[in-house]
Amino acid sequence: MSEVMLPRRQLIARAGGLVAAAGALPLLAGCDAINDAPAVRKILSMGEEMNLASQRALIDRNALAREFSRADLSPYFRPNGTRLPAGAAYAAHAASGFADWRVKVTGLVARPLSLSLADIRAMPQRTQITRHDCVEGWSAIGQWTGPQLSDILAAAGVKDRARYIVFRCADRLGDALYYESCDMVDALHPQTIMAWALNDKILPIANGAPLRLRIERQLGYKHAKYVNAIEAVASLDQIGAGKGGYWEDRIDYEWYAGI
């Protein structure tokens, strides 16, 4: 009789557990062993190489991400990842309205720079209403304002040897500060900007204040927030574990996130 009293969902859950115990368990474990095998990881990563090669071949260097009108804006732009960087240093910056925030431009450059927000805002600005696509699947449309990264890199005199631009961030996630990188095609793209305003307002902390990257032809995790250093490098080998980004190094997200 007590069986009859069990809520149906409990019964279903029990039945599911029995099925799993009976036969599925070794099968599922086998599937995961395949997923983790080094040779399989290598084959799987071919997909990213094919996507990068084909998209680079197919997409014009300067082809623009679609720009929208103000009527298309998401009612609320969902923040993701770090929403408030921990630590006294960031809190002090936030309290002073980021008056002493500096963005260092270093690495393979002729003239290393240390830019204040006033310097950033004094440069020619680009405003664009674009769609932000999170790797998770959601999208939000927002209006971003800031100087083009290409102008900043030109001011610093990036050397020809530089092949990648690395972005260093002030937010610590677990064991490390966030970092990301892109190649020169995306770094010099007209819509790649260092944004300090969202929807005509000073960039909120949750969205990456005081300065974040917009790299419109790639997924959200590439759009580094809380940026305090921009570094030109010839190789990503010495950056983190060598895959070019925080999530790339830790959970094997693709470095090229154009799809």
Partner 1 sequence: MERTGIMAEAETPVAPPQPAPVRVYRHRLPARIWHWVNAVTLLILLMSGLMIFNAHPRLYWGEYGANFDRAWLVIGSTPDSGYLRVGDWRINTTGVLGRWTDAQGAEKTWAFPGWATIPTSYSLADGRRWHLLFAWLLSTGLTLYMLWTLIGGHLRKDLHIRRAEWSPRHIWHDVKAHARLRFPRGEAAARYGILQKLSYIGVIFVALPLMIATGLTMSPGMNAAWPWLLDVFGGRQSARSIHFITAWALVAFFLVHIAMVLLAGPINEVRSMVTGWFRLPPEREEGA
For residue 223, the minimal CB distance to partner 1 (Å) is 11
For residue 7, the minimal CB distance to partner 1 (Å) is 8
Nearer to partner 1, 67 or 119 (CB): 67
For residue 185, the minimal CB distance to partner 1 (Å) is 11
What's the start-to-end Cα distance of the chain, in Å? 55
Nearer to partner 1, 143 or 231 (CB): 143
Q: Residue 214 and residue 232: Cα distance in Å, rounded?
A: 17
Nearer to partner 1, 142 or 210 (CB): 142
DSSP string, 61-80: TTPPPP---GGG--SS----
Nearer to partner 1, 168 or 223 (CB): 223
Q: Residue 235 and residue 181: Cα distance in Å, rounded?
A: 11
Nearer to partner 1, 170 or 198 (CB): 198
* Helix segments in 59-175, DSSP class H: 88-95, 117-122, 149-156
Q: Residue 259 and residue 47: Cα distance in Å, rounded?
A: 11
Q: 101-120 burial by CB neighbour count: b if 16+ within 10 A, else e?
A: bebbbbbbbeeebebebeeb
Residues that bind partner 1 (CB under 8 A): 9, 12-13, 15-17, 20-21, 24-25, 28-29, 31-32, 35, 43-48, 50-51, 55, 58-60, 63-66, 68, 72, 74-76, 78, 131, 133-141, 216-219, 247, 251-254, 258-259
For residue 108, the minimal CB distance to partner 1 (Å) is 26
State which H helix or E strand residue 250 sits in.
helix 246-251
- Cβ neighbors of 10 (< 8 A, separation 6 or more) are none
For residue 196, the minimal CB distance to partner 1 (Å) is 22
How far, in whole angstroms, is CA 80 from its chain's centroid? 10
For residue 180, the minimal CB distance to partner 1 (Å) is 15
Nearer to partner 1, 36 or 160 (CB): 36
> Mutual orientation of helices 25-36 and 38-58 as an angle, nearest 10°?
60
